[in-house]
Structure 1
Amino acid sequence: MFSISNYKKAQDQRIRATKSLIFMSLIGIGGGLGGGVQAAESSPQATDLDEMTVTARRDPEAKNNLIGQVSQVSAEDIQTLGHTHIQELAVRIPGVWLSRGNGQELLAAVRSPVYTGAGSCGEVLIAENGIPIRPSGLCNVNQLFEVNTEQAGALEVWRGAGTVFYGSNAVHGVINSLSPAMNQSYLALETGPHDYYRSKMAWGTVAGAHQWQVDANGVSDGGLKDDAGYDQQKLSVQQRWQGETLDLHSTLSMVNLNQETAGYITGEKAYEEAGWKDNPNPEAFRDAQAVRLATTLIKQIDEDSSWRFSPYARYSDMRFLQHYLPGQPIEENGQESAGFLLNYQTALNEPWQLWAGVDGEWASMNVQESQAEAFFSPDNARYVGQHYDFEVTSVQLATFVNVEWHWRPEAAVEAGIRWETLSYDYDNQLLDGSTQDDGSACESETGDCRYYRPEDQKNRFSNLSAQLGGRYQLSDQWVVYGRLARAFRAPQINERYRLLTGQSVDQFDEKTIDSAELGLRYHAHTFSAELSGYVMEKQDEVLKASNNRTVGDAETRHRGVELQLGYAISPQWSLAAVAAWSKHTVESASLLNSQDLAGNVMDTAPEWLGSLQLRYQPSDPWWFELETVYMDDYYLDAENEHEYEGHTLLNAMAKYQWTPQWSARLRLHNVTDERYAERGDYAFGSYRYFTGENRAAYLEVRHDF
C-alpha cells in the first residue's frame, strides 16, 4: 500500500544514492589527477611529492620499505590544518573514522566498525613515539585527547592487524603520534564560534650537543550545545643529546581536561529539528589528567647494528558522569605504570636484516563506579551507592623477533613472531556478588542487582602474534606487496571484572584476528597512488545489543578496499583524495536478546568513507583549499533495525603569509550548513545522536620567531 512514509523512505534512499554517486565521481576525477595525505605538503607551489618516512618498525625508514599499510599526516599539514578535534585529520586517511562525540571525546575505528562498551578501546592501540600511552589492561575510548596531536611532529596510522613490534590492543590498527619537531619557536592565537579561544606556543634552543624544545597549547570552548564546553591544556617538553655513537631523547607529556559534556539528543533525525543544540544532560562532565615521561637511548654499534632502549613511566586519572546510561553513575579510573621497550637491530649479512626485542610493563590500576540519585527507587536494580570498586595489578612481558630477507635487490620477504604474557591480580574492594554495596537485595524478581562483582582472583593470558609478507619493486615507481598476520588483545579489566548479573569472567577472554592483505603503491615526482585490499576474521568478538547486554563469543568478518591518491598538478594546484569501502559482518554468535545476529552487518559501520582536498596557491603569500568529506549510511543497532542516512560536508580554508614571520589562517567548517550527526546509535528504545557543528569560522594569527 502506498503511504507518505514509504514515499519519504524511497526519496531518502534516492538522495543517499545520488550523494554516493556524486562523491564517487569526485574520487574518480581524483583518480585521473591523483592524491595523498602528503601531496605537495611543504608548499603547494612545489611540483614534487616527498617520499614519506615512517616509524612502524621503531626506527625512521622509507614507507616503501614496509610490507603493510601506514599513512601519515605530516607536521606541516597538522600546523596548516589546525584541527580542533582529531577527526578533522583522520578524514585524510583511508579507512579511519575517529568518531567525534561531544567536546574532545571520540571512538576510534580503523578498518572496523565503531566499537562501544567496556573493552572497545582495546581494538586500536594508541601510542606516542611508539610507546603505548596507557597500560594494556586499562585503555579508554577517549584516550587520544591525552596526546598533544595539535602540535605533533606527525600522526601515523598503521591500518590492519598490528606488527610484531606491537603487542596487545594492536588488533585493527595502531595510531602513533610523534613528538613536536625540534628547533621551532612561535606564538599563535585563534578564535572561533561559541566563545572558542586557543593559544599555541613553541620554544626551541640549542646549547652545544643539547637541544631543548617546549610546546604548549590551551583552549577554552564555550560549546556548540547548551550548557557545554571544555577547557584543555597540553604541554610537551623534549631534550635531545647526540654524540658520535649515542643518541638520547627524553620527552615529558602532560594534559588536563575539564569538560562540561553534552549528552545525546534523542528522537529520529533529531539533529534536523529545532532543538538540535539542546543538551539533555547539563549535569554531565569529564575531568581527566595524564602525565607521561619517557627516554629513548640509541646506541650505534656499527653502520648496520644498533641498540634501542626506551624506559617510561605513566600516570592518568579520570572522573566522568556516564550520562548515556540509565541512572547516570559516575566512573572514576586511574593508573600508575612503568615499563620499557628494548630491541636490537642488525644486518646479519648483505641480504638479511634482523630485529629482536623484549618489552616489559608493570601497572597499578583502579576503577570505581557509584550512583548518586535513585533510578525509579533507591533499591532498584540500578541502585544508589557503589556499584564497583576494584584494583588490579598487572605485569606484562613480551619478546619478539623479525627477519627480512632481500633475496633479490628488488624483492624482500619478512617474517616475525611475538610472544606476550599478561597477568592480572584482581582485588575487589566491595562485597562479592550481585547485592547492593551494604549487602541488601534489590527490587527484582530474584533479589539480584544489575551489577555483579566477581571474587578476588589472579589471571594470566599468553598470546602469540605473527606476520609473513613480501614486497616486490616492479620498477622505480611501482611496488606490490602481500601480508598475512595474526594480532590479539588480552581482555580489558573493565570487561573482565566489571560484570552484569548473569555474566562470568570466562565470557571475556583473549581476542584474536587473522588478516590477509594485498597492496600496490606508485610514487613519482608529481603523482602518488596506493591501493590495498584486505580480509580479516576475528574470534571471540564482543557484541552489544541496544539494551546494553553483551555476548563475548562472536565471530566476525571484515573486508575492504582502500585508495589514497596525490597529485601536484602544477606549481599552483594540487589534489589529494582518499576513499575506503568496507563491510563488517557477524558470522556467528550466541543469541543476544533471543535474536540470532549471524549474517547481520555490524552497527556503526558505514560501507563508504572518503574525502577530497583541492589546493590552490596563486602567489607566494596566498593559499586556499576546498575539502569535501563523505560518510555513507550505517545501521545504528546490532539488530539492523534502525539507520543513519549519512552525510556530505564541504569545508574551506585560506592562509595568508604577509611576512616570513607573520601569517593568518581562516578555516570554514560546514560551508553549506548541513544538519548532520557526528555519530548516532539506537539504545534503550530511542534514536540517539551527537549533532555535528553548523557553519563555523576559525581565525588564527601566528608569529614565528
Structure 2
Amino acid sequence: MPEFRVALKGGAAALALSMALAAGAAAQDEPPVLDDLIVTTTGFGTPRATHIGNISRIGGDEADFVLPLQPAEALNRLPGLGIQQGSGAEHLTAIRSPVLTAGAGAGSFLYLEDGVPMRAAGFANVNALMEAMDEVSGGIEVVRGPGSARYGSNAEHGLINFLSRPPAPDADAELTAWAGPYDRWKTIGTASRTLRGDGLTTHGFRGSFSAYSDGGFRDASGLDQQKARLRYDFATPGTRAVATLTAVNVNQETAGFVVGPKAYKDPALYRTNPNPEAYRDAWAVRAALRLEHDIADGRMLVLTPYARKNDMDFLMHFLPPGKPREENGHWSGGLLASLVADLDGGHRLILGFDTEYSDGYLKEIQDLPTVGTMPQGTHYDYTVKALVLAPYIHSEWKLSPATLLSAGLRLEYTRYDYANRTANGITGRFLRIPDTVDEFTDATPKLGLLHIFNDSLTGYVNVARGSRAPQTTDLYRLQSLQVPGEAKSEVLDSIEIGARGQVGVLRYETNVYYMKKKNFYFRDANGFNVSNGKTNHFGVEGEFSAPLGAGFDIAGAATWARHTYAFDNIIGPGINATETIRDGDDVDTAPRTIAGLRLGYNFHEGAARAELEWVHMGSYWMDAANTVKYDGHDIFNLRLDYQATENLALFGKLTNILDRRYADRADFGFGTERYFPGEDRGLILGGTVRF
C-alpha cells in the first residue's frame, strides 16, 4: 500500500500540536515506525528519524498509484511545494518560495538523479522536470530550503532527488498501458534480473522505458515524450557499484496564455491557443557510475564520475512581437568524490571534493521581419565554458545516545569563460557584450541539532546558508539598458525548527522556518538591472498520515507561508506600474496556503484501493504591485487501483470531478491578466501486466 501523509497549517496551531504530540508520545509505548531510509541526507541509507532538518519522500508505489501525467502532480502532494503546470511538459517551480521564473526559476532549485545533478548549475532549465524519469521510480526525495552545504549551487530554495528503481532480488517484468481523453495514452515497461556468481558477487540489471502521447486539451497543444533508462548494479565484498544511463526526448506544441479578465473561466477562450505556432523540442542524455569501496577501519571511498548532454530548440512566443526562436545546450562531465569515515562513538566524517566542466551555447534568432526594437536576424550567439571546484566537509557528532550534532561547510568556486560569436554592442533592444571571464566564490555553512526525546518523538533545529552563482543567461543575455557585470551570487540564510514522530498509529512531521535572501537579480519593467533585490520568507509546514479503521485512512500535506519583498523598486506610472515593488508587499505568485487531503479506502481483502483527493490552492497576487489577484481554487480527484489477479492490475482516475474552471497558472503582463487554464474533467483507464 502506498505511503500517505497529511499536514497542518497555521503557525500557532503547528507549534501547539508539536507540544501536544510530545506529551502524548511520552505516555505511550508503541514501537517506532520512523524507519524510512533516506538516501539524500548523505548518499547512503539513513533513517528518516535521524535526518536533521525536513525531508519528504514519495515511495515508488505511491508514485505508481498517483499515475501523474507530469511529475508535478505527485510532487505537489508534499508540503512546501507549489509547482505550476504550463503547457504540456512546461512548468514553473516553488519550493519554500514564490513561483520563480527566468534565471531565478532555473537556478534556485536543484534536480538530482540518484544524487547527481541532472544539469550543470549555470545552465539550469526552468522546465527541469521534463528531463526527469519518474515513471519507473525507486522513490522521490525532497529537501525544502538550503541544501548547498552538501550539494552546492542551485540547492538554494530546495532540491528534488529522483531515485532510479534497482533490480529485483531475482527477476521481474511489467508492462503498463493507459489511455484518456484528448488522444492521450502512455506505455511504461520495465524488466530486471539479478545474477549471483560465486555466492559473494551479484550482478543486477534493469531496463525501463516510457512513451507518452497527448493530443492536448487546448488547440494545437500536443506532446510526445519518450524516456529510457538502463541500470546495472554490482556488489562484491568490499565494493559496490551502480551505473545508470538515462535518455529523454520531448516534442511539444506549446499553448500560450489565454488573455483577459478571468479568461480561464470563459468557455469561448479556455481551450483556445493564441500561439499555435509555438513549439519546444528537447533531448537529454545522462550517464553516471557510483563506486563505493571499503577501506580498513570504517572508512569508505566513494567516486561518482558522470557525463551528460542536452539540446533544446523552442519558439519564444512569450516575447512579442518578434517571437524569436532559441537554441541552447551544453555538454558536461564531472566527478563527485568523498571519503567517508565512521569514527568511534558513533561519529561520522565526510570529506568531499566535487569538480565539473561544462561547455554550453545559446542562440536567439528572429525569423520575422523587424518590428520596433525587435530586429530580424541574430539577437545572441555565444558560448560559455564553465569550471566548478568545490571542496566540502560534512560531519555528524553523537553528543549523547539521544543527541546528534551535524556541521558542514562547502566552498564553491565557479569560473565562466564567455565568448561572443556575433558583433559586440547593441542591436535593437539587445546588448551583446565582448568576451569576458567571470569568477564567483561562495561559502555555504550548515549547523543542525537533533534530539530524540523518546522512541516516538524527535525534534530538530537547522541553520543553513544556500547560495548560487548567477545563471549564464543572467550574465550574458543582456538588454540595452542593462549594465554588464552587476549580477552577484545570490545568498539565502535559513533557520527551521521542527518535530517528527508518532502517537499510536498517527505519523507526523511539522516545522516552522524563516529565510532571508539577498542579491536577488532580475531585469525590471523599465529594462534596468536590479542586482540587490531582497526577499523574506516565513512559513509553517506539516504532514501526517493515520489509519481510521474499517479499511479507511487519511493523509495529505499543507503549508502556510508568506513571501515578501524586503526592498523598494518604484516603477513610473503607466502600463508598467504593476511591477512596482514595495518593502513588505507579497511577492507575486506566492499563495499563502497550499493544502491537500486524501481519504483512502482499502477493500476486497486488500486487493483494491480507492482514494478521494482534495487539492487546495490559495489566492495570490498576480503582479508585483499587489493590484490584481487570482482567487485560488479547490479541485477533487478520484483514484482506484484493483489487483485483479496475481499478474494483472487494473486502475483508473477521474480528475477534476466537479469540472471546475481554474487556472494552473495566473499571471499579469503587458497590461492584462494572463492564464494557463486548468484541464476540465477527465477519465483515465489502464492496466499493468506483471510477468
Tell me the TM-score normalised to structure 1 length.
0.90
Q: What is the letter of the counterpart of residue 66 of structure 2?
A: L
For 1:578 and 1:543, locate their aligned partners in 2 and report how far apart those are by CA, in whole Å: 32
- The alpha carbon displacement at 1:544 in A equals 5.5
Do structure 1's residue 216 and structure 2's residue 224 form an aligned pair? no
CA contact 1:337–1:362 (8 Å) conserved in 2:
yes
Matched residue SS, 1:434? strand
Task: From 128, 132, 135, give the equivalent of 1:147.
Answer: 132
Secondary structure of 2:230's aligned partner: strand
Measure, in 1, the Cα distance between the counterparts of 2:100 and 2:502. 34
Tell me how far 1:597 sits from its aligned partner.
Answer: 2.5
Residue in 2 that maps onto 1:491: 470
Secondary structure of 1:120 counterpart:
helix
Match of 1:53 in 2: 37
Q: Which residue number in structure 1 is paired with residue 67 of structure 2?
A: 82
Residue in structure 2 matching 1:136, options 118, 121, 139: 121
Q: Which runs of 5+ in 1 are unaligned?
A: 1-22, 33-46, 436-448
8 Å CA contact 1:356–1:401 kept in 2: the answer is: yes
Cross-structure match for 1:389: 381
Distance 1:24 1:342, change over 3 A: closer
Letter in 2 for 1:96: L
- When residues 571 and 549 of structure 1 are mapped into structure 2, their CA distance, relative to the original with a 3 A threshold, is farther
* Counterpart for residue 318 of structure 2: 324
Letter of the structure 2 residue corresponding to residue 243 of structure 1:
T
5 Å-filtered alignment, 1:171-320, equals 171-183=156-168, 184-208=172-196, 209-274=202-267, 275-302=269-296, 304-320=298-314
1:399-445, CA deviations, whole angstroms, 9 ceiling, x for partnerless residues? 0011211111000111111001010000001111112xxxxxxxxxx
Asked whether the 8 Å contact 2:562–2:590 carries over to 1, the reply is yes
What secondary structure, in the 3-state scheme, does the structure 1 residue paired with 2:93 have? strand
- Distance in 2 (alpha carbons) for counterparts of 1:645 and 1:599: 21
- 2:24 aligns with none
- 1:190 CA drift (Å): 0.5
Q: How does 1:13-32 map to 2 (within 5 A)?
A: none
Query: What is the distance in 1 between the residues matched to 2:465 and 2:373?
Result: 41
Q: Match of 2:110? A: 125
Hey, what does 2:391 align to over in structure 1?
Answer: 399
Give the aligned residue type for 2:304: S
Map residues 37-76 of structure 1 onto 2, 5 A cutoff. 51-56=35-40, 57-76=42-61
Secondary structure of the residue aligned to 1:77 is helix
TM-score for both structures, normalised by structure 2:
0.91
Pairwise CA distance, 1:639: 1.5
1:43 is matched with: none
- Distance, in Å, in 2 between the alignment partners of 1:232 and 1:306 is 39
Residue 336 of structure 2 is matched in structure 1 by: 341
State the Cα distance separating 1:197 from its structure 2 match.
0.9
**Deviation of the 1:181 alpha carbon:** 3.4
The answer (yes or no) to whether the contact 1:606–1:632 under 8 Å persists in 2 is yes
Q: In structure 2, what is the equivalent of residue 44 of structure 1?
A: none
Give distance in 1, aligned partners of 2:50 and 2:433: 48
**Pair 592,316 (structure 1): closer, same or farther in 2 beyond 3 Å:** farther
**CA-atom RMSD in angstroms:** 2.1
Q: Distance in 1 between matches of 2:329 and 2:522?
A: 26
Per the alignment, residue 360 of structure 1 pairs with: 355
User: Higher mean Cα deviation, 191-200 or 53-62?
Assistant: 53-62
User: What is the aligned partner in structure 2 of residue 579 from structure 1?
Assistant: 558
CA contact (8 A) 2:513 2:539 kept: yes
Q: CA deviation at 1:145?
A: 1.0
2:661 aligned to which of 650, 675, 690: 675
Q: Which moved more, 1:175-184 or 1:647-656?
A: 175-184
Q: Using a 3 Å threshold, how does the CA distance of structure 1 residues 596 and 318 change in structure 2: closer, same or farther?
A: closer
Q: Which runs of 5+ in 2 are unaligned?
A: 1-7, 18-30, 197-201, 574-579
CA shift in 2, pair 1:703/1:139, >3 Å:
same
The number of aligned residues is 652
- What per-residue deviation string (whole Å, max 9, x for no partner) do you get for residues 608-662 of structure 1? 0010111101222221100000000001111211111100000001111110110
Residue in 2 aligned with 1:624? 610
Q: Secondary structure at the match of 1:363?
A: strand
What is the Cα deviation at residue 547 of structure 1?
Answer: 7.3
Q: State the Cα distance separating 1:170 from its structure 2 match.
A: 0.7
Moved more, 190-199 or 551-560: 551-560
Q: Does residue 553 of structure 1 match 2:532?
A: yes
Secondary structure at 2:609's aligned position in 1? strand
In structure 2, C-alpha distance between the alignment counterparts of 1:624 and 1:291, rounded to whole Å? 37
SS at match of 2:373: coil
Find the partner of 1:469 among 428, 448, 455. Answer: 448
Greater displacement, 509-518 / 144-153: 144-153
Task: Find 2:620's aligned residue among 634, 652, 656.
Answer: 634
Task: Trace 1:434-445 onto structure 2 (pairs within 5 A).
Answer: 434-435=426-427
Q: Is the 8 Å Cα contact of residues 425 and 459 (structure 1) preserved in structure 2?
A: yes
| Aligned-partner Cα distance in 2 for 1:215–1:527 | 36
Seen in structure 2, the aligned counterparts of structure 1 residues 672 and 24 have a Cα distance that, compared at 3 Å, is: farther
Could you give the per-residue CA deviations for residues 590-618 of structure 1, whole angstroms, max 9, x where no partner exists? 44457452222100000000101111012
Judge which range, 332-341 or 176-185, deviates more: 176-185
The one-character-per-residue Cα deviations of 1:360-386 (angstroms, maximum 9, x if unpaired) are: 000000011111113xxx262111111
Distance (whole Å) between structure 2 residues aligned to residue 249 and residue 694 of structure 1: 42
Give CA-to-partner distance per residue, 1:7-57, whole Å, 9 cap, x none. Answer: xxxxxxxxxxxxxxxx979xx99x99xxxxxxxxxxxxxx99663211121
The residue identity in structure 2 corresponding to 1:393 is K
Letter in 2 for 1:265: V
Return the offset for 1:300: 1.9
Paired residues of 1:165 and 1:400 also in contact (CA < 8 A): yes
Equivalent in the alignment of 2:22: none
Contact 2:86/2:665 (<8 A) preserved: yes
d(CA) in 2 for partners of 1:379, 1:625:
53
Equivalent pair of 2:482/2:528 in contact (CA under 8 Å) = no
SS at the partner of 2:122?
A: coil
Q: Deviations over 1:497-534 (max 9, x none)?
A: 00011112222221000001100111356221111000
Q: Is the Cα contact below 8 Å between 1:395 and 1:423 reproduced in 2?
A: yes
Deviations 1:555-599 (A, max 9, x none): 110110001011123361111121101111111144445745222
Cα distance in 1 for residues equivalent to 2:572 and 2:479: 15
Which amino acid in the other structure matches residue 492 of structure 1?
Answer: Q
> What SS class does the counterpart of residue 447 from structure 2 fall into?
strand
Contact 1:198 1:217 in 2 (8 A): yes
Determine the C-alpha separation between the residues in 2 that align with 1:655 and 1:337: 42
Code of the aligned partner of 1:287: D
Q: Which amino acid aligns with 1:298?
A: E
The alpha-carbon distance between structure 1 residues 547 and 156, as it changes in their structure 2 partners (threshold 3 A), is farther
**Pairing partner for 1:695 from 676, 681, 690:** 681
Q: Secondary structure at the match of 2:549?
A: coil
Matches of 1:509 and 1:24, distance apart in 2: 35
Match of 2:690 in 1: 704
Instruction: Tell me if the contact between 1:300 and 1:307 (Cα under 8 Å) persists in the aligned partners.
Output: yes
Q: For structure 1, which segment, 323-332 or 584-593, has the greater mean C-alpha deviation from structure 2 after superposition?
A: 584-593
3-state secondary structure, aligned to 1:468: strand
Partner AA of 2:399 in structure 1: W
